[in-house]
Each structure stands twice: as C-alpha cells, then as structure tokens.
C-alpha cells in the first residue's frame, strides 16, 4: 500500500508574459522507502515537493488527476486539513537554515512552539521533548542550543536543529529539499548520517530532493530524474550506472572526478526529443 | 501595432535603445496588472492634462470678478462647482490651479531628489569622514521645520511661489539622501561593483553609472509618495499666506479664503479641498504601484 | 618564472569591534602559465586571498608580488590590464541594469581602447555566446550564460592572470562542465595563468596543476595533482577533505 500517490501533477505559474509550467505531468508513488528526486535548476523538483504539501501560492496553481496521502485526497483537502497534515504527518526540511529558521526567535521557542500550540503540551513537557529531539540529532549541549538564536549557530548545527524540529511531531513522511547543499563537505557527511539513522529508526518515508545525482543514489532506494518539469527516468539506486536515458547518462558523465582524465568533460546533448 | 509589440518583446534586441524600450514596456505590462496603480496613473495623467489644457477647458476666466454672482451654490447653471466670494467660478479656478500645483510639484521633483541622491550616494560610497560630514549636514536640514523655514525665507525674500518651492525643496531632500545612502551601502559590497573597481574605474564613474541606477527605484517611489505631502505643504503655505499670493487660484489659498464661509457656503473651501485630496490619492496609489514594479526585492523574477 | 608570489600574507578584518584574522601567514607561488588551486571549506580564507590580491581586503602583514613587483595601492590601470577576476555568483557579478554590451565595453572605455564594437562581438563569440545576446540584460540569461559573460568581461583587457573565485559553484552540473571546458580552452589558447578557488576537490583536480589546502585561514598542505589523485596527502585534514569528496563518487569506471 503506497503512502503517497501522485498522478499527473501539474504546477503552472501565471506570469504577465503568459503561463509558465514548472511541473508538467509528474506521476509517482511512494511506499515505506526513500525516494530521490534529482534534477538541475528549473527541473521542477522543488515545486513537486512543495506541491505535495500544497505550499504553492498564487500566481501558481496545482492541478493533478490524483494526489493522495495515506488514503486522504490532498487535492480536495481544505486548508485546515492541510495544516493538520503539515508538520504532524508530513515534514519538510529546506536547504539553508539561515533562511528557514526564524531569526528573531530562540531555537528553544521554535522547537516548542509547535508542541504547545498544536499538541497543547505544557511548557515543561514541551521543553523535555525538545531537548530529547536535540539529543537525537547529536547536539552535545542541548540546553545552550535551546537558548541560542539561529545566527549564533553554524550551518551544520542549524541544519541539525531544523531536522530536530521536523522530527519532533514524528511525521510519516519527510520531504528533504537539498538538505545538505548549503553545508561544507565534511559537515554534509555528518548531517546525512544523522538523517539516515533517524529515518531508519523511526521507519519514516523520505523524499530526498537534490541536484547531486551521486549523493542521492547513495542515500535512497529509488531515484527519479527530472528535466524541465517531467520525469525522464526512474531507476533503482543500485542500478544507476546502468541508466539508459541520455539525460541521466549525461549527468553521470559530466562531473569531474579526482584522478579523472584531463580532456574536456563530456557535455549534455540537449538535442533529443526528450529535451522539449 | 503588433509589429511594434513584437519589436519591443524581441528577446534579442539589436540596439541599446531597443533593449531599454523593451524593458520599459515590460514594466508597463506589470503596472497594468495593478488596478489601483492604474487608477493613480489616471488621476495624475488627468492632472497633467487639465493643467496643460487649462485655458481652453476652463468655462470662465478665473480672475474676473463678478460681484453680482457671488457665493452661488454648486449646480447653478454655468457654474458647476459654484462661485466664491468674488463671484469667480470655482471650477475654472480649480482648473487653472492645477497648473500651479503641477508647477510646484515639478520644481520640487527636479531639485530635492537630485540633491538627495548626490549627497546620499557620495556619503554611502566613500564612508568614513565624508559620510559623517554629509550625514550631519543631512540631519541639520532634516531638523528644520518646514513652515518655520518658509516663514524665514519669506521674511527675507518676500512671498511668492518660487520661495515656497525653495522652502519645500530645502527640507525635502534629506529623506532622499537617507534612502540613497541606505541603498548605496547595500550595493557597495556587490560583486559587480568589485568587478568594475578591479577594471580601474574612477569613483565618479562608479557612483554615477553603477550606484545611482540601483538607488533610482527607491528614490522614485519615495518621490511619488511624497508628492502628496508636497501638495499639502504648498497648500498649507498658501493657507498661511506665505506662498502663492492672491488672486492666483492656488488650491490651498482657495481653502484659506473660503474659511470664512465654511458653514453656509461650504463649497468655496471644500471643492479645492477635494481636488487636493484626489490628487494626493492619485500620487499615493501610483507610488504604491510603482513600488511593485520597480522594487527589485518585491519583483517576482 | 614566478608570476604570483604570496609571502606570509595576513589579512585582518574589523568586525563588531573585534579583529578577525581571515588569512594567517600564508605563502605560495604560482608560475607563469600554471593553474594553481586553493581549496578549503567556508572560513578557510581562500576567497579572501583573491580579494587581497585585488586590493579589496585589508592586508595587515606579508607581501604580494605580481611579476616580481610589489602591488601599488590603489591598484591602478596597469594592474587591471594584468589581473582580472571571475566571481562566484553569476546572479550578482553583472550589473542588473546594464546590457551585456555595456558591461563588456566599459573596461575598454575606461582604458581608452578603441574599436569596442568589434571587440565586444568577438568576446561574445570567444565564450561561445551568440552575438545576438549583445543587448540583453543579465536577467534574460541563464546562470551559465551569465558566467560566460563574466569570463568574457574578465578577458576584455587581455590580462595575463585570471583569478577565479568558485566560478562554477552556483551552476548546474551540466553547465559546470561546459564552463570548465571553456576555461581550459581559453587558458590553452591565450597562455593564461589561473589562480582558482573552490571547495570542490574534483573541480580543482580537473582544472589545476598544483593545489594548496587551507583551513581556518592557514595553509595546511600543498599538493601536486598526481599526489591528490593517488591520495598521497600527508596531513589529516587534507585526507578528511579527500575522503568526504571521494566518498561521494560511485564506483565509476
């Protein structure tokens, strides 16, 4: 039984020069697994993630033949029902904690806000839960972090706070949109392994959106490759090197490698019919 | 018409002029979507039109007195907005008064923002003691109350429309300097400024060619929104007898002289008041709409 | 012949009343026609070194020599004709209100170089852009196209040295490949010297002959390209950097 079912999702923006289609007919289903969505800028991967949570505002509009989460029709749900879903059952981690954490609230307040407002917990209970969440993401002195403001934290620490915040309500599905792209290389590995353990321990489903094909293939079970709003290939992570589609092959081959040849890197041949 | 449209929308312009006009046309499309801004533009356009065509569209001479006709109410035949205490048609006086209003606005708009831009960009770009000195100068002028300054100028130079404008302009430029300086401080650290410095450009070239274009949108928006205030201040000065002198049909002056009849012959003061209200509203709406179009931060690009 | 010599360079910033040492006693030298890479994570000081060379960062110790000569302060026209820089963010390095034509012809105007029409068109062709882009504005170009314009701009004055500050970090992978290829081709054609900064070890490996690993403002280790490929690094930090990058490679052929 799939947790999330998306059929023919379309996201269109009405600009003054005409409609712009960011997502053009994307369909996939997600069970208890990790799904990676890979694409370059303009591929529509971020819009797909946001469309699932119905976080797209006018002039953008979402259309789909079907979009169901655990049996609930997301297209027909009211804003109130969506609010009940967001955070509690579907969580989202974004790229840069500098922009996704509220800069004028302490970390502790942001962590406990949801618990107190949505779940009605008292202050002591909420604080205890928040501290436990910070420990789960391997923050060594959670009390200090609770009292700190986001700008006082490093990138990696901020992203871990973000993960903690999203995992407190124990959602069934986590959508991670480029969670490590803004971090240094050595910190990326740490944050990814924390995310890995947490997702495994809590048996969550994960949608991992990234531009980094190799990273996604290492982290996920299945990979969807998107280009210009469409899915061009779907492949199991282990079989990535056998990918058939010229775009996927192009993406794999165009990256430089340490110790690779000094010849010009193979570019992407965008002349196929798929590039429309 | 469509050939022109295609030329403007051409993604590969072949000359600087085509590129510039194309961008302006796109900005026009964006303004057009905002109904309130279009309303504001309409009102301002109407003001300009009325001012330009005043001698031809005013039904009566605004200066000729006709004491037999004094204080007629609105709706009287031939005098749609009524007459004032000298028997002059209020509608005609309002129409001719539009010229004066436009004159005042135009004079202030070409002096105060230009001075403010100059002071603000230079202060922001150089920093250090230049910034300190220029900003203290700005603070001094900001602290002057406009009406007191106007009184002082009038005492020295005599009353009149140019002196009123001078008083307004001298106190209107500091906010533009502040706005320009704030923008300059942001722009100063951009990579494109670093790039042009690296190419050996002199400070005047950088300020004039690279910094000022980035400050222009904020200043233009500010100017448009301030125009409403300028009209009111000019009206206030006229009301106090410090600016335009009778018998010129300046709107503030008309309100002042209509004060005496406010309760029985309300139209003498109220009609010019409505004109001021309408024009201020127009500028405010236009300024808000321009902000949506010109402010790069709020652009949905 | 050493074209760029950095000797015990220290760069200190004043921030909120405190002093921040962005670069501490870093020394290295770049030969003519060589491609030298500075690699490190954020806060390592690598970009600050480039800015110090350009006169955009406060040097508080050590010396910088270009072609054997110490640098004048302010840098001056001679420097501009010798050293140019390509910046990281293609969305921020071109003036948003200037057409491409203006951006490319301005350096020529500043230095009184004639024939700017033909030169601008030739510059566009050299970086693989159609001449019809000449009067476009930056927001009408993609990130990769903008970066090509930035490269064209840097080459307008025909410098000998090109400083590259993470030139492809903000670009998609496929576009990055094109831009890196372009840079290599231009370097071969014009005999340029590159000083390149990146956090991406594989990009540095592809583009550079020698590499300096930096951390927290200090030079950690200098490596030749062959040493990097063979994982012959001596310091633990350089090794951890290598592992974090190589870790993301699939077992590719």
CB atoms B33 and A16 under 8 Å: yes
- pLDDT over threshold 90, residue B171: no
Q: pLDDT by residue (tens digit) across A135-186?
A: 888 888 888 889 989 888 888 888 889 888 888 888 899 999 988 888 888 8
- pLDDT over threshold 50, residue B284: yes
Write out the two tokens for A195: 């995310």
- pLDDT over threshold 80, residue B241: no
Nearest CA distance, A103 vs chain B (angstrom): 19
Mean pLDDT of B127-144: 92
pLDDT at B300: 35
Give the residue with greater pLDDT, A119 vs B114. B114
Q: Which residue has the tokens 């060619």?
A: B209
Architecture per CATH, domain A4-255+266-275, reads as 3-Layer(aba) Sandwich (3.40)
Mean pLDDT of A86-101: 85
- Domain tally for chain C? 1
Neighboring chain C residues of A217 at a CB cutoff of 8 Å? 250
Q: C190 is in which domain, residue-wise?
A: 2-246
- Residues from C in contact with B at Cβ < 8 Å: 51, 54, 56, 75-77, 79-80, 83-85, 87-89, 92-99, 101-102, 106-107, 110-111, 130, 132-137, 139-140, 150, 153, 157
Cα–Cα distance between B268 and B254 in angstroms, integer? 7
Q: pLDDT by residue (tens digit) across B62-79?
A: 888 888 888 888 888 888
CA B9 to chain centroid: 31
Write down the ipTM of this complex. Answer: 0.89
Asked if A235 has any chain C CB less than 8 Å from its own CB, the reply is no
- pLDDT over threshold 90, residue B188: yes
Give the residue with greater pLDDT, C87 vs A238. C87
CA A109 to chain centroid: 24
- pLDDT over threshold 70, residue A1: no
Roughly what angle, to the nearest 10 degrees, separates helices B16-32 and B35-57?
100
Q: pLDDT by residue (tens digit) across A181-232?
A: 888 888 888 888 888 888 888 888 999 999 888 888 888 999 999 999 999 9
- What is the CATH code for B36-294? 1.10.3720.10
- pLDDT over threshold 60, residue B298: no
Q: Name the nearest CA neighbour of C49 among C85, C75, C10, C89.
A: C10
Write out the two tokens for C195: 């000083």
Give the domain ranges of chain B: 1-32, 36-294
Nearest CA distance, C50 vs chain A (angstrom): 20
| Inter-chain CB pairs, B–C, below 8 Å | 83
Asked whether residue C253 is assigned to any structural domain, the reply reads no
Cα–Cα distance between B141 and B157 in angstroms, integer? 19
Q: Which residue of A has its CA nearest to B29?
A: A16
Instruction: Per-residue pLDDT tens, chain C, 253 aa: give them.
Output: 678 999 999 999 887 778 888 899 999 999 999 999 999 988 888 999 999 999 888 899 999 999 888 888 788 888 999 999 999 998 899 999 999 999 999 999 999 988 889 999 999 999 999 988 999 889 889 889 999 999 999 999 999 999 999 999 888 888 898 999 999 999 999 999 999 999 888 899 899 999 999 999 999 999 998 888 888 889 999 988 888 776 555 444 3
Give the pLDDT band of residue B301 (cuts 50, 70, 90). Answer: very low
* CATH number of the domain encompassing residue C20: 3.40.50.300
- pLDDT over threshold 80, residue B290: yes
Asked whether residue C85 is assigned to any structural domain, the reply reads yes
């Amino acid at each position: 039984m799939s947790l999330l079912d998306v059929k023919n999702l379309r996201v269109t923006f009405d600009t003054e020069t005409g409609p712009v289609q960011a997502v053009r007919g994307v369909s996939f289903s997600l069970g208890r697994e990790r799904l990676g969505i890979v694409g370059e800028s303009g591929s529509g991967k971020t819009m797909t993630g946001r469309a699932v949570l119905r976080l797209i505002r006018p002039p953008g509009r979402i259309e789909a033949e079907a979009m169901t989460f655990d049996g609930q029709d997301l297209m027909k749900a009211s804003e109130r029902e969506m609010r009940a879903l967001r955070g509690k059952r579907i969580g989202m981690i974004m790229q840069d904690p500098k922009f996704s954490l509220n800069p004028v609230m302490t970390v502790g307040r942001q962590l406990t806000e949801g618990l107190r407002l949505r779940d009605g917990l008292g202050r002591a209970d909420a604080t205890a839960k928040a501290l436990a969440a910070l420990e789960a993401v391997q923050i060594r002195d959670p009390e200090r972090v609770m009292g700190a403001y986001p700008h006082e934290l490093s990138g990696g620490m901020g992203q871990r706070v973000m993960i903690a915040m999203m995992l407190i309500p124990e959602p069934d599905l986590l959508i991670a949109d480029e969670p490590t792209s803004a971090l240094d290389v050595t910190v990326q590995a740490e944050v990814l392994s924390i995310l890995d353990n947490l997702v495994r321990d809590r048996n969550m489903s994960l949608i991992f959106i990234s531009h980094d094909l190799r990273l996604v293939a290492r982290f996920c079970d299945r990979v969807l490759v998107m280009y210009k709003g469409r899915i061009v290939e779907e492949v199991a992570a282990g079989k990535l090197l056998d990918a058939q589609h010229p775009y996927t092959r192009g993406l794999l081959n165009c990256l430089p490698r340490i110790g690779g040849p000094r010849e010009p890197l193979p570019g992407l041949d965008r002349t196929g019919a798929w590039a429309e | 018409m469509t050939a022109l449209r295609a030329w403007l929308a051409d993604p590969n312009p072949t000359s600087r002029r085509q590129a510039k006009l194309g961008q302006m046309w796109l900005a026009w499309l964006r303004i057009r979507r905002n109904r309130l801004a279009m309303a504001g533009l309409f009102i301002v356009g109407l003001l300009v039109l009325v001012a330009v065509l005043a001698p031809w569209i005013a039904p009566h001479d605004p200066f000729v007195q006709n004491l037999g006709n004094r204080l007629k109410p609105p709706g009287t035949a031939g005098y749609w907005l009524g007459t004032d205490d000298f028997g002059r048609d209020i509608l005609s006086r309002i129409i001719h008064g539009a010229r004066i209003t436009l004159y005042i606005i135009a004079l202030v708009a070409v002096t105060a923002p230009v001075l403010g831009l100059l002071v603000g960009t230079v202060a922001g770009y150089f920093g250090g003691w230049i910034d300190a000195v220029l900003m203290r100068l700005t603070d001094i002028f900001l602290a002057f109350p406009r009406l007191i300054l106007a009184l002082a100028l009038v005492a020295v130079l005599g009353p009149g429309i140019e002196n009123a404008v001078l008083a307004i302009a001298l106190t209107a430029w500091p906010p533009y300097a502040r706005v320009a300086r704030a923008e300059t401080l942001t722009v100063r650290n951009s990579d494109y400024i670093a790039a042009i410095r690296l190419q050996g450009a002199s400070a005047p070239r950088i300020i004039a060619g690279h910094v000022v274009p980035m400050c222009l949108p904020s200043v233009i928006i500010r100017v448009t929104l301030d125009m409403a205030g300028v009209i009111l201040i000019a009206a206030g000065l006229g009301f106090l007898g410090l600016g335009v002198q009778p018998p010129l049909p300046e709107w503030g002056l008309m309100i002042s002289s209509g004060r005496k009849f406010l309760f029985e012959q309300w139209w003498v003061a109220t009609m010019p008041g409505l004109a001021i209200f309408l024009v201020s509203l127009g500028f405010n709406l236009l300024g808000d709409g321009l902000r949506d179009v010109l402010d790069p931060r709020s652009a949905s690009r | 012949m050493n074209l760029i010599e950095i000797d015990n360079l220290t760069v200190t910033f004043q921030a909120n009343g405190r002093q921040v040492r962005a670069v501490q006693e870093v020394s290295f030298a770049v030969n003519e026609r060589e491609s030298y890479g500075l690699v490190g994570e954020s806060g390592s000081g690598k970009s600050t070194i480039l800015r110090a060379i350009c006169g955009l960062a406060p040097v508080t110790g050590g010396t910088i020599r270009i072609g054997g000569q110490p640098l004048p302060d302010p840098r001056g026209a001679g420097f501009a004709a010798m050293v140019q820089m390509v910046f990281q963010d293609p969305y921020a390095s071109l003036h948003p209100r200037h057409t491409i034509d203006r951006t490319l012809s301005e350096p020529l105007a500043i230095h009184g170089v004639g024939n700017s029409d033909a030169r601008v068109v030739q510059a566009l062709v050299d970086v693989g852009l159609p001449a019809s882009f000449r009067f476009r504005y930056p927001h009408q170009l993609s990130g990769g196209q903008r970066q090509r314009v930035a490269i064209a701009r840097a080459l307008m004055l025909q410098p000998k040295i090109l400083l590259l500050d993470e030139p492809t970090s903000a670009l998609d992978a496929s576009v990055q490949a094109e831009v890196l290829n372009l840079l290599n081709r231009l370097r071969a054609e014009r005999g340029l010297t590159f000083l390149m900064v990146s956090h991406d070890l594989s990009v540095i490996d592809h583009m550079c002959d020698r590499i300096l690993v930096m951390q927290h403002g200090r030079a950690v280790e200098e490596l030749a390209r062959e040493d990097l490929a063979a994982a012959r690094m001596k310091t633990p930090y350089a090794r951890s950097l290598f592992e974090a990058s190589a870790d993301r490679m699939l077992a590719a052929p």
